[in-house]
Structure 1
């Protein structure tokens, strides 16, 4: 974890993930935000050696940012095969873990290129902006499969929490990633609940309701602030 000038720990990766969830889906700030998330994921998360982010393109998919040529090569193999964990995460909106690259059968193109580049385990995490729809997949690649196992479990628990499940804490960078994912999910729930309130109150579809939230945010404050205000009005 990076120290701040006053000696306190900074939480840049957490903040970057929270900021992404609070951006409108068409925000011009998205590419820079995704690049920041990739850079920090590869730098501060101990089990992760390479990182990249996959987004939708006009004809298929593309890598918006990558921390290394190895990460981009593994991504490109998946685009060429039209299959792989990053595409499955982006299309399905769920985390896709590969705890043992050598044992992969369904995506041979991904397996072979990943193995040649030293990747032994991977985790693809769907990322979303304001509307809650997946806009990207964060791809985390590791040379050490054993070191990646707990991170896989912890990230999956953010999406599918089990009340009785208590998992060990991890390094500071991994905890930043986990806090950012958990916070982004809270933001998504907040925006979606506010969108539902507008749909019921004004008799409109989800798309127009979301646009009203974005317009409210553009007039001052953030998307989260606009959603919170709608929910307070509904509760009063």
Structure 2
């Protein structure tokens, strides 16, 4: 993106949770972006935060910073950035974000630059969405696999109780559930213990 927009020297992505006061820089093209963003987070104001919170594009020159964000102004003056352009990112229901450009030697980003940033925002949003849903899918798959393993162990434990006590499957599960509550352990943990105990006895009897 920095290569595509002539006056952009650095770029970064800010993410913040709607229920948190702790924004973070999720990605950047240069380590100095982290320092610039950190000054905005410390002041609780600045272009990246305003874009994320208002869902509006923010484009300012250094001479406007003192008026708009006085707490950030002193830090901004020492940074050397002369122009800021931040565009809001739609992440998910729990997060807001912004795509941020910083320029050292320009007199302000143009309307064309804003259009280009909007195009990049669409690509970034799609990438973030795909990444998050891929992670959710992996988590769900892991959960299903674990559930399948757990169910198999519980069924084995039920089978052992049925064989040893001569009870029905329903009663066998009720026995496991009652004992898990009494001992305050998960049914799956108790079932694994029953299975392991039966295996140990079977091995010891040979």
TM-score (norm 2): 0.51
Which residue of structure 1 aligns with residue 36 of structure 2?
A: 74
* 1:77-96 equivalence runs, <5 A: 77-96=39-58
Higher relative contact order (CA 8 A, sep 6+): 1
Equivalent positions of 1:61-210 (< 5 A) are 61-98=23-60, 100-104=61-65, 105-129=67-91, 135-146=96-107, 148-150=108-110, 153-154=111-112, 156=114, 158=115, 174=116, 177-181=117-121
Structure 2 gaps, min length 5: 127-132, 138-206
CA distance in 1, matches of 2:109, 2:90: 24
CA shift for structure 1 position 132: 8.1
Tell me the C-alpha RMSD between the 2 structures: 3.4
Q: Deviations for 1:10-56, whole angstroms, at most 9, x for unmatched residues? A: xxxxxxxxxxxxxxxxxxxxxxxxxxxxxxx2344221111111111
The structure with more radius of gyration: 2
Rate the CA distance shift 1:46–1:155 in 2: closer, same or farther, 3 A. Answer: closer
Separation of aligned partners in 1, 2:70 and 2:36: 11
Distance 1:124 1:49, change over 3 A: same
Contact 2:13 2:26 in 1 (8 A): yes
> The residue matched to 2:16 in structure 1 has which SS?
strand
Deviation, structure 1 residue 121: 0.6
Q: Deviations over 1:156-186 (max 9, x none)?
A: 5x5xxxxxxxxxxxxxxx5xx453446789x
Unpaired segments ≥5 residues, structure 1: 1-40, 159-173, 188-213, 219-236
Tell me how far apart the structure 1 counterparts of residues 74 and 4 of structure 2 sit (CA, whole Å): 27
Q: In 1, are the aligned partners of 2:8 and 2:103 still within 8 Å (CA)? A: yes
In structure 2, distance between residues paired with 1:71 and 1:184: 18
Distance 1:70 1:115, change over 3 A: farther
Q: CA deviation at 1:155?
A: 5.2
Residue matched to 1:51:
11
- Partner SS for 2:53: helix
